Structure 1
Amino acid sequence: MSILDKIFLKGAPSADAFSPDVIFYLPDNALTRILQIANAPIKSTVTTTWVIMALLAIFSWLATRNLEREPKPGSLQNIAEAFVENISSLVETTMGSDMKKFTPYIGTLIIYLTIANIIGIVPGRDVLHLYTPTADLNTTFALAAITFFNIHYFGIKANGIKDYLKGYFEPMPLLFPLNIIGNLADPVSLSFRLFGNMMASVVIMGLLYGVVSLVIPGLADLYFNLFSGVLQAFIFSMLTMTYISMEME
């Protein structure tokens, strides 16, 4: 059921009107019962993420199946190499020349977030049950949790466990509780910032398409889904790089 169907069938819009659809349920068998996921609902957030992963895998295969030393201008290999070079330059500029090892992670993050954020502009998205993954707090919190792990893992690896723990008591031991809260606040703020912006886009566009003609919502799509989506992907990635590099100093 599309967002518009939910709105018109239920009358006044509710939180459920803008929530992802349940596509199917996991089967009830011995394995799913052991894992305690029997009959768990698989929503369009998850299936849309699978679609994005499949598209990226296909693109990667097509771009690298016939590698050339000097790829033709405009070829998939040329596009992929240009993207990698730009991301590598961005990582070097933001984090430092010795941090290029983060290029694969940051590049993957930017690609996924950009596609996930702008998937709302795909024609027929309701028919295909495509839902903006980043408009689901589960997705944004999972991404923030990965960033949180990287921040502290590489912080310990770069400075050692002793200096890492010492940082929590600086500039004075009394600030230890505040430093703990500050570190825990980083992934929370990352996840809620991205979720809030993308969920707002889903709600606004759902309401616009429900009450006015297609022209005005179409123009609004360029901002709320395209421009805002790309911007939020960039902000999330930049904050990720900033937090990791700060912890490794």
Structure 2
Amino acid sequence: MKVFNVFPETIFSIGRVQVTDTVTTTWFVMAAIITICYLSTRKLSIKPSFFQEVLEAIFEFMEKTIKDVLPLNPWLVVPILGTIWILIGFSNMAGLIPGLKTPTADLNTTLAFALISFSMTHVIGIATQGFKGYLLHYKEPTWILLPFHLIAEVTRTVALAVRLFGNMLSGDMIAIILLGIVGLLVPIPFSLLHIIIGIIQAYIFGVLTLVFIAGGIKTKS
């Protein structure tokens, strides 16, 4: 696992735009996901292969999770939320590859994911209830609390970003400390733990997004 600074390092520049190690690793993760999806879906069959069964199980799990939380057609949410789940999950585990930095250990990345979550909440709320109908949920239980609802919109988005960032950064720092103390005695068990934590953090991020969406569409007038 690469020893890294808290702040992203610039790898190269395109004009005045600096491309950091976080960005290049994210590009690698995206390319890996696209390749895996292509290889897993190019030969779909009525008699599924092992990889097709795994893929179908993942999508069925996503669909069920969304259906259990949201009172609407889950496939309105599956494409974008499923993409977020998969991208965050792979990003959380990217640091296990020597030379790569965990993209989600960069606050810029997690803030971008949190802003997508924030946007989804309002876009889906407006799409399912209309602009006026969606705004009415801010009056619950009374319009007096409107300022607090607006503050909560901002604070929960920031908290979502910081939570994922803190968990993944601390995990990478602990790994570096352990490797420095005990050398190569613990990398395999810790790598397995890192994978589990990465998957759980991706799942929690998605579920919290679902809860935020549900909070905006549960009240209709």
- Tell me the TM-score normalised to structure 2 length: 0.89
Which position in structure 2 is the counterpart of 1:55?
A: 32
Q: Which has the higher contact order (CA 8 A, sep 6+)?
A: 2
- Report deviation, 1:185: 1.7
Query: What value does the CA root-mean-square deviation take over the aligned residues?
Result: 2.0
How far apart are residue 216 of structure 1 and its match?
3.3
Contact 2:63 2:74 (C-alpha < 8 Å) held by counterparts: no
Aligned position for 1:162: 132
Shift of 1:116: 0.9
AA matched with 2:11: I
Distance in 2 (alpha carbons) for counterparts of 1:197 and 1:46:
19
Amino acid at match of 1:222: L
Q: Return the match for 1:106 from 70, 81, 84.
A: 81
Hey, what does 1:21 align to over in structure 2? Answer: 9
Distance 1:167 1:81, change over 3 A: closer
Are the counterparts in 1 of residues 137 and 217 from structure 2 also a CA contact under 8 Å? Answer: no
Alignment check: 8 A CA contact 1:24 1:43 kept: yes
* Shift, 1:80, TM fit: 1.9
Supply the distance in 1 between the matched residues of 2:18 and 2:41 (Cα, whole angstroms): 36
What whole-Å deviation, never above 9, does each CA across 1:34-77 have from its counterpart, x for those lacking one?
A: xxxx2x221111111111111111122222223323223x1x33
How do residues 124-163 of structure 1 correspond to structure 2 at under 5 angstroms? Answer: 125-126=98-99, 130-163=100-133
Q: 1:107 to 1:244 in 2, by over 3 A?
A: same
Q: 1:112 deviation in Å?
A: 1.2
Structural mapping, 1:1-40, within 5 Å = 2-3=2-3, 17-26=5-14, 28=15, 38=16, 40=17
1:68 aligns with 2:56: no
Tell me which structure has the larger Cα radius of gyration: 1
The amino acid that maps onto 1:25 is: S
After TM superposition, the structure 1 = structure 2 runs for residues 152-191 of structure 1, keeping only pairs within 5 Å, are: 152-191=122-161
Q: Matched residues in 1 for 2:209 and 2:175: separation?
A: 28
> Which stretches of structure 1, 4 residues or longer, exceed 4 Å deviation after superposition?
none
Answer yes or no: is 1:239 the counterpart of 2:170.
Answer: no
Q: Which runs of 5+ in 2 are unaligned?
A: none
With over 3 angstroms needed to count, the CA separation of the structure-2 counterparts of 1:171 and 1:226, relative to structure 1, is same
Per-residue deviation, residues 125-173 of structure 1 (Å, max 9, x unmatched):
12xxx11011111111111111111101111222222233233233223
Q: What corresponds to 1:212 in structure 2? A: 182
Q: Distance in 2 between matches of 1:194 and 1:152?
A: 21
Secondary structure of the residue aligned to 2:130 is helix
CA contact (8 A) 1:116 1:132 kept: yes
Work out the CA distance in 1 between the residues paired with 2:143 and 2:63.
38
Residue 222 of structure 1 aligns to a residue whose secondary structure is: helix
CA distance 1:63–1:218, change in 2 (3 Å): closer
167-176 or 186-195: bigger deviation: 167-176
| 1:32 corresponds to | none
Offset of residue 218 of structure 1: 4.2
State percent identity of aligned pairs: 35
Number of matched pairs: 217
1:94 aligns with 2:69: yes
* Residue 233 of structure 1, CA deviation: 0.8
Distance 1:81 1:22 in 2: 39
Contact 1:22 1:43 in 2 (8 A): yes
Report the TM-score, using the length of structure 1 for normalisation. 0.79
